[in-house]
Amino acid sequence: GPFARRQTEGTSQRRRVEQEGLVRKRGRKRMPRFRMGRINSQLQREISLILSREVRDEKLAEVIVTSVECSKDLKYAKVYYTTLREEGRAEIAKLLEKVSGYVRSSLGRVLSYRTVPELTFRFDDSEELAREMDRVLDRISAELPPEESEAAEDAPEESDD
């Protein structure tokens, strides 16, 4: 009947539009980058709140969540953290591993995502590396003769005019 003809017309029209590149082919859509950034920052904020307010261990209240990298399918998330003090980091890593299930279930109550990612906590040593680089640069500038270091500071910077 007329319904069957209309159905075949629709699929051929769909194929023609897909071939011309006007419409994306059917299948899984990719998540825009800006949405992933928003999801990562929301996860970072919520995990920080959960660790500081809900988890009873005071050692975990000192943890600073620096960033979160969530997979595109929202199944896994790497949570990067740092601490103010260097001592006790191994113990904090074990504690974070222990409470990751609780943090994930708390996220499930707060967030409206279809799936809540499985959390993996990783120590973020980027600040320590930056401090070490500063120390090396300070040592190098201290070793330079005074006239060379002053000349380097007074030299005009090149600009791309």
Question: What pLDDT is recorded for position 50?
Answer: 93
In the DSSP assignment, the letter for residue 53 is I
Question: What pLDDT is recorded for position 23?
Answer: 47
What are the helix (H) ranges across the chain?
2-19, 33-49, 58-61, 89-110, 126-143, 146-154
Ranges 88-92, 141-145, 148-152, most confident: 88-92
Question: What pLDDT is recorded for position 44?
Answer: 94
Whether 144 shows a pLDDT value over 70: the answer reads yes
pLDDT digits (tens, 9 = 90+) for 77-118: 999 999 888 888 899 999 999 999 999 999 999 888 888 999
Q: Considering only CA atoms, give the Rg of the chain.
A: 26
130 against 43, higher pLDDT: 43
At a CB cut-off of 8 Å and minimum separation 6, what does 78 contact?
A: 68, 69, 120, 122
Question: What pLDDT is recorded for position 150?
Answer: 54
pLDDT digits (tens, 9 = 90+) for 17-66: 555 554 455 555 555 567 888 999 999 999 999 998 888 888 888 899 99
87 neighbors 31 (Cβ within 8 angstroms) = no
CA–CA separation, 19 and 11 (whole Å): 12
Q: What average pLDDT does range 118-138 have in this prediction?
A: 90
Report field, pTM of the whole predicted structure over 0.75: no
Name the burial class of residue 117, with classes exposed (0-12), middle (13-18) and buried (19+) by CB atoms within 10 angstroms of its CB: buried
